[in-house]
Structure 1
Amino acid sequence: MIRFSLHCDKDHEFEGWFRSNDDFDSQAEKGLVSCPSCGSNKVGKALMAPSVSTGRQKEKIAIAMSEMAKEMKEMVKKVRENADYVGAEFAEQARKIHFGEAEARGIYGEATPEDVEALLEDGVDVMPLPVFPEDHN
C-alpha cells in the first residue's frame, strides 16, 4: 500500500491509500477518487517530502532500543529469581500445572518449537525468555 497526499481542484488537501501508482491513476480516471471535503472528483497527487531518518531520529531509536533491552533483561532476571528452573521438563511440567496435576508455581526451562505449539494448542500460556549474549559467559 502507498499513501498519497492528494488535493482537489478546490485546493482541499487529504490523503489516500492505494495498492500502487497505477491503482490511483486507474481509479482517478474513472472518477472513483473524490475529495472528502467537497466531493470533487478532480483529484491529483500533491508533492510529498520523502521520509528521511536524521541522525537525531536514529539516536532516539538507539536510546529507545537500549532502554527496551534493559527492561527485558530486568524482566528475565525477575523470572529467574522467582520461578523454578525445570530444564527440558518444561513442557511436561507446564502441562501438569495447567491441568491441576502439579502445584501452581512459576517455571522456566527449555522447549522445542513443537512443544510450544502443542502447549499453546492445549491452552497453556507460555512466553519465550530472550537469551542475551552475556548469558553465555
Structure 2
Amino acid sequence: MIRFSLRCDKEHEFESWFQSGAAYDGLRAAGHVGCPICGSTAVEKALMAPAVRVAREGAAPSLTAPANPLEAAMAELRRQVEENSEYVGMNFVTEARRMHEGEAPERAIHGEARLEEARKLLEDGVPVAPLPFLPARKAN
C-alpha cells in the first residue's frame, strides 16, 4: 500500500491510499480518483515529504484516530450511519427496491451496490445516495 498526497484542480489537498503507484495511475486514468471536497476528478499528485519519525518522539499514532477535521467528520458520519440504519450488505439494491415498491417496511438501510445498479435505482426514482466510506468489513 502507498499513500499519496493529492490536489484537485480547485486546489483542494487530500491524501489517499492505493495498492501501488500503478493502481493509482489506472484509477486516475479511468476517472475513479476524485476530490472528497468538491468531487473533481482532475486530480494530480502533490509534492510530499516522507514521514520520518525519530525513536525518541514516543509511540506511533493510532491508525484509527482521525488525523484531521475532515477525517473526524467522516468518522462521525460513519458512526451515525452504522448506529441509525441496518446494514443489508449485497442485498441493498433488492431491499431498497422492495421498500420503494411497498413490499418491505420503510426503514433506514445501508449496504453495497455496483455503480450500474445504483444508477438504475436512481433512474427508477428510488431515493438512494452513495456513502463516502467502505463497509467496515472492507475498510482494512
TM-score by length of 1: 0.47
Between structures 1 and 2, the one with greater helix share: 1
Higher-Rg structure is 1
